[in-house]
Chains A and B, each alone.
Chain A
Amino acid sequence: MTVTRAQMGAELALSPSSPTKTYVVEVHAEDPAACLRDLSTHVEPTADAFLFRVHTEAGIYWVDQLDERFWRFHTDMRKSDAYPHLKDWVGSRRDLDWMWLPSEHLHGMWPGARSRRVRTDFHGGSFIGNDSPAQDLRVQLSGRNAEQLFDRIGQLPEYRSAISFDAVELEISETDFGYVREGVNRMGSFAASGDSLELHLDFVNVVVGRYKRLVELCEEKAIKWSASGSADGGGTVQGGPILITFSREIENLEAFAEELTSCREPFRLWGAFTTSRGIVEVEAVDLHVAQTLQFDIAKTWMRVYLQEGSCGNTVARLISNLQHRFDGALNVADPQIEQAIRGR
């Protein structure tokens, strides 16, 4: 029997007891089909040129490459079976990465949707001094319109920078589609139950689209050098570093730079740095994607030098992780990127 996209719709159950999961993975591949075959030897093509099935011992992933950069892995497998494969693939390759949703992308995600559970997770660790009123702040609330509590906490100046959305669960109902209950976390993992796969897919599309805009904007704003082509040299530059401004001061710049470039998760940045004119200049490598980038770190701001051809996901990941480790209330000076971070 020929496998089709309609069959995927029929097979994914959206059951409350075994929700359908969707994992979004960012991929840089010239030949997406070949890249997928490189990940697994058990890839089954379908009648749809963009859709594949990947078989594992525990079940099936439906891999949708309709968006060639942000693939969707749909499955009804348990998370304990589904997630480890993806984690291994993403962790071991430089052309795969997760989405790293900024905090605001998990806030007010869908017009009219009711949030049922919300979790914020801020872990300052070595980035924050011991005297901070909120070194770690992890709150989970279940209830009707659960986001409201966090809006209130966010109005308290001493806690504002420690509010960073990590995951939400919400109910969506659309007359033309049906009903879904969606759980989503900041790394682009979705779990859904309900009666409309179409609505779930639409929800994923909206979240990915918002994130994609941020990533592409960062790439648009990257530093682009263009040479005239003459043997005598000459050319010009467009773009510039992306400036992140903080709502709190960095207490110790060098300790901050050391922690940021410790090569550990979640930042996975290698770096060498020098201190000059009161700022720390960092020559860094994003070990997620094996690309160089540079930072200037001052007390209340940070420049990110992203060169043309580098992946905008690097900036999105940095922003998302800084929101969870240092400042949930950070801003970006470029108004377009700032809007994209706010999900607008």
Chain B
Amino acid sequence: MEERLLPINGLLCLLQENDVTRPALAEAGFRLAGLEIPARAAGGGSVKIDCLLFHSEASHLVSAEAKSGGNVENEQALKYGQVDPAAVVQSAYVTLAARVVPTHEVMYVALAENVDRVRLGLSNLELNYPILGVSDGSIRLDGSEQASDRLREVFKDGEIKLDGPPPRLIPFDDESDVDAFKPRVLSVLVAAMARKEISISLTSLAERVMPHFALYGRAAQNTIKKKVGQAAQALAGAEPANYAYVPTNGHREGMVQILRTPEAYDARGRTQAYQAIGRGGGVRRRAVPQVNPDQLDLLAELEITDNVTSDLYEPGEEAE
């Protein structure tokens, strides 16, 4: 997972039950209400909420802006503060179980090392949103005195220790480098080979690479498609006997053609052919160690060579 996506995944990890880290936000009653939610700002224009949390009992919404770096976009930060909670409820299709008028707060999420820069950026705009600082080992709420009681309560003991890196629910996004897409793109191409597909359009490839592709707006989707295509092009260039990249032209969408599949071989050849995929594509796959897993089982070998009748029971087999 890219460092820049640690904040959003760190936030999501606090909602994720049955993982290595305690789901502190979920335990406090928050749940995920939406990702990439467009919301109208009272001053005009709109803002896209990276991650929307909802506390059903309190009818309280938390709009989280996840920063991959330390810069604050002024217009965006101001618009977050102008968002009408009712509009957010409508945009994210939140179900208000209790007849309580929803309340709303804004929270920024950043790498712990960038919290001071984000704080400065917000202060320059006279905004005092709380900031969730995510590091490899913990998550801490900065400016908790500005947070709602519900949120502050979650972080009352200071930081929440992470017992492992957060799950990579969002492993890459439209701002990711093309290299970040390559391993996933290659895995999708290998799966297509195993299904004996002969080609995949770039849209289909992007949808398979990113199961959350549809959550992005049109511009971001186009960027993702382009990067997935670039990754596929690089992989095809590295393994031209396996894949051919066909770029988009005026008449048809670009695609990747699958030129051969290990499925065409017998069992042993198939395994070796799969093992060979990806070795030259800039994606890390080591050579499989040539160790016979039965090498040390000399006792079994003796049983066979001595032709000793064994009384070992073979389930599903009658006595011969």
Number of interface residues of A (CB under 8 A): 77
Indicate with 1 or 0, residue by residue over B1-16, a CB within 8 angstroms of chain A CB atoms. Answer: 1000000000010001
Tell which of B35, B167, B184 touches A236, judged by Cβ atoms closer than 8 Å: B35
A-binding segment of B100-108, B140-148, B247-255, B308-316: B308-316
B158 on interface, CB distance cutoff 8 Å: no
B212→A243 contact, CB < 8 A = no
Indicate with 1 or 0, residue by residue over A69-84, a CB within 8 angstroms of chain B CB atoms. Answer: 0000000001110010
A327 on interface, CB distance cutoff 8 Å: no
B169→A17 contact, CB < 8 A = no
A287→B194 contact, CB < 8 A = yes
A274-B183, A274-B284, A287-B274 given; A234·B215 CB < 8 A: yes
- B-side contacts of A237, CB under 8 Å: 12, 32, 35, 169, 212
- B-side contacts of A155, CB under 8 Å: none
B318→A18 contact, CB < 8 A = yes
Q: How far is the CA of A270 from the CA of B167 in the complex (A)?
A: 21
Q: How far is the CA of A183 from the CA of B194 in the complex (A)?
A: 34
- B-side contacts of A281, CB under 8 Å: 1, 168, 171
A240-B167, A271-B285, A287-B194 given; A227·B214 CB < 8 A: yes
A-binding segment of B60-68, B112-120, B237-245, B287-295: B287-295
A17-B319, A119-B315 given; A234·B34 CB < 8 A: yes
A240→B194 contact, CB < 8 A = no
- A-side contacts of B208, CB under 8 Å: 292
B169→A169 contact, CB < 8 A = no
A285-B190, A333-B18 given; A298·B164 CB < 8 A: yes
A78-B318, A233-B216 given; A272·B93 CB < 8 A: no
Q: How far is the CA of A227 from the CA of B297 in the complex (A)?
A: 53
A-binding segment of B77-85, B125-133, B149-157, B275-283: B275-283
- A-side contacts of B92, CB under 8 Å: 228, 234, 236
- A-side contacts of B318, CB under 8 Å: 17-19, 78-79, 191
Tell which of B183, B288, B317, B319 touches A283, judged by Cβ atoms closer than 8 Å: B183
Tell which of B171, B215, B267, B271 touches A235, judged by Cβ atoms closer than 8 Å: B215
A284→B187 contact, CB < 8 A = yes
Tell which of B215, B217, B283, B315 touches A225, judged by Cβ atoms closer than 8 Å: B215
Chain A contact residues, CB within 8 Å of chain B = 17-19, 21, 78-80, 83, 91, 94, 117, 119, 123, 125-126, 136, 140, 142, 167-169, 183-185, 189-191, 223, 225, 227-228, 230-237, 240-243, 254, 258, 261-264, 270-274, 276-279, 281, 283-285, 287, 290-292, 294, 296, 298, 301, 303, 305, 307-308, 333-335
24 A–B contacts from the bound complex (CB under 8 Å) = A78-B317, A94-B194, A119-B315, A126-B289, A140-B313, A185-B316, A223-B211, A233-B36, A234-B48, A240-B18, A262-B288, A270-B275, A272-B278, A276-B1, A277-B1, A279-B164, A287-B194, A290-B191, A292-B187, A292-B208, A296-B167, A301-B164, A305-B167, A333-B20
